Structure 1
Amino acid sequence: MKNIKQLQALISKEIERTEYGQAPIELYEPIEYIMSLGGKRLRPLLTLLAYSLYKDDVESVLKQAIAVEVFHNFTLMHDDIMDEAPLRRGKNTVHEEWNHNTAILSGDVMLVKAYEMLIMDQATLTVDILKAFNQCAREVCQGQQLDMLFENRKEVTEEEYLDMIRQKTAVLLGFSLELGGLLAGVSKESCEALRKFGINIGIGFQLMDDLLDVYADKDKFGKQVGGDILSNKKTFLLIKALDNAEGKQKKELEGWIAKKQFDPEEKVKAVTQIYNDLGIKELTEDTMNKYFEQGFHSLKQINAPLHRKAVIKRFAENLAAREK
């Protein structure tokens, strides 16, 4: 069984040699560009780790693992257009480097390429793979739409938010793991357990991101701490604070949300203090840990050798412990 670094090396090499098309070059260059920007490559790694629970010939399913990363970057390319984001991983976004129309078309081609790679050399599994992928892709789009709708809504419930991050972020982690199980030819029960494992740890990871945006060490976080507070982003923390605040505290929090002109440092400090007074950090950690525990419980249900499950469990635990 290959270790994490060996799997990551295989993924990087496969991405480098993947071809998307030749002409017109303006359609395919943006795909090469966004795929070269790096990132954690978490999703294809999860596919290979799930496959490695049962088989050692991971090279035979590299195309399918990379398909998940191509799809993920397709969603990022289109999300950046919707968000009018200027940067992605420290570089110009595709629509900034080229233009909006090119970014839309290049993204569309990425989706087609993902389908092509998913079913390559997998004739007997094509229906199962496409059925699982289509469900995942639909939910990712639903989650993105909900996220945009939430921007203009005054109130969002905890349940609505958790369902949104489940669809927008977590289901793709679930599919990545489920795909590894499908490719390895394991039972429906094990594939379902892999999917649940991915979805639950995916929700946990998103809650951790919400938490780190406020409480991370600025030097280690890699981006502005308090960015969600400044933009009034409806994170789990803000939703719980609005639910739990009363009287003067609620009025102060709503006042900061309504302010158009403010000192950024002052706003972050004031809202963080409200979170501290309400115990929001602890509430978020409790919910986050609940999802991590549910994920690891699903991992226990998977019928695979314990020493192989230990590798994927340790990897997920290390991710869950980052900067905590």
Structure 2
Amino acid sequence: MHSFKDWVNIFAAHFSTAHFPAQPASLYEPGNYFLAMGGKRIRPVMCLMGSELFGEVHPDVYHVATAIELFHNFSLVHDDIMDKATLRRGVPTVHTKYGESTALLSGDVMLIVAYDYLNKIEPRHQQRILGLFNRTAREVCEGQQYDMDFEQLEQVAMPEYLRMIELKTSVLLAASLMMGGILGGASEGNCRHLYEFGRNLGIAFQIQDDYLDAFGDPEKFGKDVGGDIRQNKKTFLLIHAQETAGEADKAELKRLMQENPADKVEKVLAIFKSCNIDAWARSLQQQYLDKALGNLEQIAVLSARKKPLVELAEFLIQREH
């Protein structure tokens, strides 16, 4: 059995080959530029780990893991355009460096090449893998649209936000694991438990993201805290504050979001702290982590084989960036 860190290194070496032709360079160079930024490669590694849970890793798993990573990067290129983001991982985004039109095409090509990799897997698994991949890709798009819709709303209910996070973040983690499980020969029941493990872990992962944006250490986080607050992003923290704060704090939150004063982040964080949002977020995160570990417990394989996935869950939740 390999650890999460082992798999990160194994997959990074595998993924470092060329995925695009040389010409036209104006189309393919931006894709290479974006993929060279690196990243944690969490989703493809989850696919590999989901397969190893049930036995030896078949070569097809690498094709699916590569397709997942290309799809994820395609979605990030397009997200950066929608968010008007100028930096990702500390360097200029594709549309900032190469222009929006090229960035759109470059993202499109990544998605097409992802399907080239899926086309390489054995026919006996192809229909099931493609069905899950396509459903997940559609759900990720739905989640992104909900996220954009929410920017226009003054208030979002917690169940609506949870559903958006599930679509935008959780389903790809869950499907990555399940695709690995399918290729690893897992039973229908084991695949379902593995998917639920990823889905609940994805929600805990997003709570950690929201938490770090408000309460993280800027040096460890790698960027200024409070970005979500400045952009009036609906997060677990803001929604809970809007639902639980006293009338005066609710009115102040509304004013801060409308007027965007220079000291907005500081004042919103003060309201969060007065509502004990930091402790509440930690508690909610633990609830979803416990649910995820409960799903993992249900999978009918030896406990020793589950250890790398338990370590992965702890890594994702305890990370500080």
Query: Which category describes the TM-score, using the shorter chain as reference length?
Result: over 0.9
SS in 1 for 2:54: coil
What is the rounded CA distance, in whole Å, between the counterparts of 1:236 and 1:320 in structure 2? 15
1:202-281 pair list within 5 angstroms:
202-260=202-260, 262-263=261-262, 266-281=263-278
Instruction: State the 1:161 CA deviation.
Output: 0.5
What is the rounded CA distance, in whole Å, between the counterparts of 1:189 and 1:21 in structure 2? 41
Name the structure, 1 or 2, with higher relative contact order (CA <8 Å, separation 6+): 2
Number of residues paired by the alignment?
A: 321
Residue type matched to 1:296 in 2?
Answer: L
TM-score norm. by structure 2 comes to: 0.95
RMSD, aligned CA: 1.6
Paired residue for 2:288, among 271, 286, 291?
A: 291
Residue type matched to 1:312 in 2?
Answer: L
Instruction: State the 1:277 CA deviation.
Output: 1.2
1:152-231 pair list within 5 angstroms:
152-231=152-231
What is the rounded CA distance, in whole Å, between the counterparts of 2:5 and 2:219 in structure 1? 25
TM-score norm. by structure 1 comes to: 0.95
Residue type matched to 2:294 in 1?
Answer: H
What is the rounded CA distance, in whole Å, between the counterparts of 1:231 and 1:151 in structure 2? 9
Instruction: State the 1:24 CA deviation.
Output: 1.8
Unaligned runs of 5+ in 1: none
Instruction: State the 1:184 CA deviation.
Output: 0.8
What is the rounded CA distance, in whole Å, between the counterparts of 2:203 and 2:114 in structure 1? 24
Instruction: State the 1:322 CA deviation.
Output: 2.4
Q: Is the alpha carbon distance of 1:323 and 1:104 closer, same or farther for their aligned partners in structure 2, counting shifts above 3 Å?
A: closer
Instruction: State the 1:232 CA deviation.
Output: 1.4
Partners of 1:53 and 1:305 within 8 A in 2: no
Corresponding residue of 2:120 = 120
Runs (4+) of structure 1 exceeding 6 A deviation are none
SS in 1 for 2:186: coil
1:297-316 pair list within 5 angstroms:
297-316=294-313
What is the rounded CA distance, in whole Å, between the counterparts of 1:240 and 1:57 in structure 2? 43
Instruction: State the 1:65 CA deviation.
Output: 0.9
Instruction: State the 1:126 CA deviation.
Output: 0.6
Deviations 1:45-89 (A, max 9, x none): 111111111223355521211111100000000111111111111
Partners of 1:46 and 1:176 within 8 A in 2: yes
1:39-118 pair list within 5 angstroms:
39-57=39-57, 59-118=59-118
Corresponding residue of 1:320 = 317
What is the rounded CA distance, in whole Å, between the counterparts of 2:162 and 2:121 in structure 1? 37
Instruction: State the 1:257 CA deviation.
Output: 1.1
What is the rounded CA distance, in whole Å, between the counterparts of 1:285 and 1:119 in structure 2? 42
Deviations 1:182-220 (A, max 9, x none): 111211111111111111100111011111111112221
Deviations 1:67-116 (A, max 9, x none): 11100000000111111111111111111221211111111111111122
What is the rounded CA distance, in whole Å, between the counterparts of 1:179 and 1:58 in structure 2? 12
Instruction: State the 1:179 CA deviation.
Output: 0.9
Q: Is the alpha carbon distance of 1:82 and 1:174 closer, same or farther for their aligned partners in structure 2, counting shifts above 3 Å?
A: same
What is the rounded CA distance, in whole Å, between the counterparts of 2:19 and 2:157 in structure 1? 44
Unaligned runs of 5+ in 2: none
Partners of 1:48 and 1:58 within 8 A in 2: no
Residue type matched to 1:39 in 2?
Answer: G
Instruction: State the 1:2 CA deviation.
Output: 2.8
What is the rounded CA distance, in whole Å, between the counterparts of 2:299 and 2:270 in structure 1? 43
Deviations 1:93-144 (A, max 9, x none): 1112212111111111111111221231321101100111111001000000
Deviates more, 1:33-42 or 1:218-227: 218-227
Q: Is the alpha carbon distance of 1:317 and 1:5 closer, same or farther for their aligned partners in structure 2, counting shifts above 3 Å?
A: closer
SS in 2 for 1:57: coil
Residue type matched to 1:290 in 2?
Answer: Q
What is the rounded CA distance, in whole Å, between the counterparts of 2:5 and 2:220 in structure 1? 22
Instruction: State the 1:7 CA deviation.
Output: 1.7
What is the rounded CA distance, in whole Å, between the counterparts of 1:150 and 1:250 in structure 2? 18
What is the rounded CA distance, in whole Å, between the counterparts of 1:203 and 1:24 in structure 2? 40
Residue type matched to 1:108 in 2?
Answer: D
